[in-house]
Structure 1
Amino acid sequence: MKHFFLFTAILAFISIVSATGKTPCAKALECDTPSDNTLTVYGTAQKWETTDDKVFYLAPGFSKCQVNYTDQSNVVCVSPQYFLNDSLRDCNEWVQVYNPDTGIVSFGRILDECGAVPNSTFGCNDIYLSKKMFTELAGKNAAEALNSGHLTQVQWRKVVAPCWSAWAGLPGKFPNGTQDDAHGYDSNGFLRCGRRSGQNRVVGADVAQVCNKNIKSCDEANAIASKLPKYHGGSCDHQSKAVAYVAQTNQLT
């Protein structure tokens, strides 16, 4: 009898894999594997994932992470399997997304879950994006991508919160889910000098003056920031094109 039940379970597992082409994420937090953490040239990041479902853009609203976001927010939506046991652990982790069709890279926070529908093939390697990130990654093909409603495929990984997000005062966690005070280098080698708030924020094109490879100390960055216009409101969720990390595959280390 034991062998019968074991055989039945194996057949059921094989049928799921055959139908979806993916191994089911049945275990709690199976999508989060500590061994996925690897070292980049500058800091910690997780291994690259490649989507095999089409990458759609999200309708704005109230997220799994209990945050209201809009079409202008930088948001990444991941499988519900990232939220199983510690349901909000992955919230505010930062993700670097690369579109091989355009060579463009964009960054966003994990704020929502997607794919929680019957017979979904949305796996641990798949993501959806906010409209802002979607159009950034589509580049010159944005109109065509918006018309079709999806990108074909992207690559992505969890990273240390980027320098520009710290100056904008946006929340962030390390790729392992622990709190990040936004000091030290981000995963692309830009020095971070703490998370800003109030009028001390730097956003938009100005952030390129404090987030670049020439900045060697926070004293230097702070001196530059002190001469920039004070922040007086508006979107902080704005990634300047000057720090958008337009890249080719061989530069993604």
Structure 2
Amino acid sequence: MYRLTTVLITLCAITFTVLAAPIRLSGTATVSLEKRVTHTGEGTWFEVGDGACGNTDTDSDPVVAISAQIYGSGGNCNQWIEITNTDNGYTAYGQTRDECESCGSGSLDMSPSLFEKLSTLDTGEIPISWHFMSKGWSPS
């Protein structure tokens, strides 16, 4: 009985060690798993044009301007965001293309076409929750 218990404990220890090891691809690259942070704030809309990320977009593009606090040096440019209107549960995806100087840290300014997927333009401001999608992810 003692031997069986020792073998089971050893097998469990080996299993947990293997599960805790980083994932390796092609023997050299280590995959880093990012923790998804959900932000909350207000969603508004703006007329799109030349963005801080260096792109020129139109009002029909699914464009997002993030707060200056999160924008920083532009490391999230072109990254997709999943946005949910917390009042009605509607969800849409927008691409980070601009910086919003007047937005609170968890708030987003969206192109009219993106905002309309969540509410009507007449609403003007909606409560939202959102998070960045993995870098390189696209809704298409």
Are residue 162 (structure 1) and residue 134 (structure 2) matched?
no
Task: Tell me which amino acid in the other structure corresponds to 1:77.
Answer: A
Structure 2 counterparts to residues 94-243 of structure 1, below 5 A: 94-116=80-102, 122-138=103-119, 142=120, 146-148=121-123, 150-160=124-134, 161-164=137-140
Question: 1:32-72: CA deviations, max 9, x gaps?
Answer: xxxxx32xxxxxxx221110xx4220111100001111110
What is the number of residues matched between the two proteins? 105
What SS is found at the alignment partner of 1:78? strand
Post-superposition offset of 1:79: 1.2
Give the TM-score normalised by structure 1.
0.39
Equivalent of 1:73 in 36, 57, 61: 61
Task: Tell me which amino acid in the other structure corresponds to 1:137.
Answer: L
What SS is found at the alignment partner of 1:95? strand
CA distance in 1, matches of 2:76, 2:37: 16
Which structure: greater helix fraction? Answer: 1
**1:13 aligned partner:** none
Which consecutive unaligned segments of at least 5 residues does structure 2 have? 1-33
Task: Tell me which amino acid in the other structure corresponds to 1:78.
Answer: I
Which structure: greater strand fraction? Answer: 2
Give the TM-score normalised by structure 2.
0.68
Between the aligned residues of both structures, percent identity stands at 25
CA distance in 1, matches of 2:56, 2:104: 24
Which consecutive unaligned segments of at least 5 residues does structure 1 have? 1-36, 39-45, 117-121, 165-253
What SS is found at the alignment partner of 1:133? helix
Task: Tell me which amino acid in the other structure corresponds to 2:131.
Answer: R
**1:3 aligned partner:** none
Superposed CA RMSD in Å reads 1.6
Highest CA radius of gyration, 1 or 2?
A: 2
- 1:67/1:153 CA distance change after superposition, 3 Å: same
Equivalent of 1:47 in 18, 22, 37: 37
Q: Are the equivalent residues in 1 in contact too, given 2:93–2:139 (CA < 8 A)?
A: no
Post-superposition offset of 1:123: 2.5
